[in-house]
Amino acid sequence: MFAPVLRAFDQIEDPTVFGVLLKSLLLSAACFALLSGGSVYELHHVLASHGWVAWLAGILGGAAALAAAIWLFMPVAVLIASAFMEPVCRAVERRWYPSLPPPAGARFAIQIWDGVVVACILLGLNLVSIMLALLIPGIGLLLGWAITAWALGRGFFVAVAMRRMSRDAAAALYRRHRGVILLQGAALTLIGYVPLANLLLPVLAPACMVHVLMQHERS
């Protein structure tokens, strides 16, 4: 059941995949340095003023900004993975499915647009789940997990499938195997909640979905 995820883990040491991982780590670090740096700047700015209320507000605001940056890691990971998906998919196919013909599916612009749309939807829904987590902690956490499982499952499966078929065909294949695909998305989401392991998502997600596609393309 979880063979796709395990195979994706097994290929992290592949030179191509590892190179993409390093690039994604640098981009992730840059994104969160900007977010964290902005929150720290605001914190010092508030602390420079007088009064314990301003001081407390700065502490809480800085902590909230850092927490939001961590919570919003998934949308950033989706965008990064979409940008570097092609070399990861080619590396997986080269190792596990060497007899496959070169990919010839939906136009590249359509593939990029679909990835951006999924990432934007994920970002918006995650913002909603943040508010719910503050109001109703249990519900918000469960909703955030479900949203991310859908985005990683549906988003990356369709993106990977569109390399070899039209968008309509990829979406139809997703609907036929929605349960299995979302299960893989749920497993990837759990990995995303583990510190340090979540940094692997930009390469794990597309690699995993290549295996899922190969298992179900002709079923």
pLDDT digits (tens, 9 = 90+) for 92-107: 999 999 999 988 877 7
pLDDT of 78 strictly over 70: no
Mean pLDDT score of the chain: 79
Q: Which residue has the higher pLDDT, 183 or 113?
A: 183
Which among 213, 205, 218 has a CA at the least distance from the CA of 180? Answer: 213
Which residue's structure tokens are 């883990």?
9
* pLDDT, mean of residues 200-207: 88
- Judge whether 60 and 39 are in contact, CB under 8 Å: no
Cα–Cα distances in angstroms (integers) from residue 101 to residues 97, 125, 167, in the given order: 10, 37, 19
pLDDT at 203 over 60: yes
- Residues 153-177: tens digit of each pLDDT: 988 899 899 889 988 999 999 999 9
Q: How far is the C-alpha of 159 from the C-alpha of 118, rounded, in Å?
A: 10
* Tokens 């502490």 sit on residue: 59
Quick one: pLDDT band at residue 194, thresholds 50, 70, 90?
confident
What is the rounded average pLDDT of the residues 74-82? 70
Answer yes or no: are the C-beta atoms of 159 and 115 closer than 8 Å.
yes
Select the more confidently predicted residue: 30 or 207: 207
The single residue listed with the structure tokens 């998906």 is 85
Q: How far apart are CA 151 and CA 153, in angstroms?
A: 6
Report the alpha-carbon distance of residue 209 to residue 201 in Å, rounded: 12
Among 70-79, 141-150, 210-219, where is mean pLDDT lowest? 70-79
Among 167, 169, 189, 205, which Cα is nearest to 20's?
205
| pLDDT of amino acid 111 | 73
Tell me what pLDDT residue 142 has. 79
The pLDDT value given to residue 123: 72
Q: How much is the pLDDT for 207? A: 93
Alpha-helical (H) ranges within the chain are 3-10, 15-47, 52-71, 73-83, 85-96, 108-135, 137-150, 156-161, 167-176, 178-192, 201-216
Give me the mean pLDDT over the 116-120 stretch: 74
pLDDT (tens digit per residue) in 1-50: 788 999 999 999 999 999 988 888 788 777 767 766 655 555 555 555 55
Pick from 72-76, 146-150, 192-196: least confident: 72-76
Give the start-to-end residue ranges of the domains of the chain: 3-216
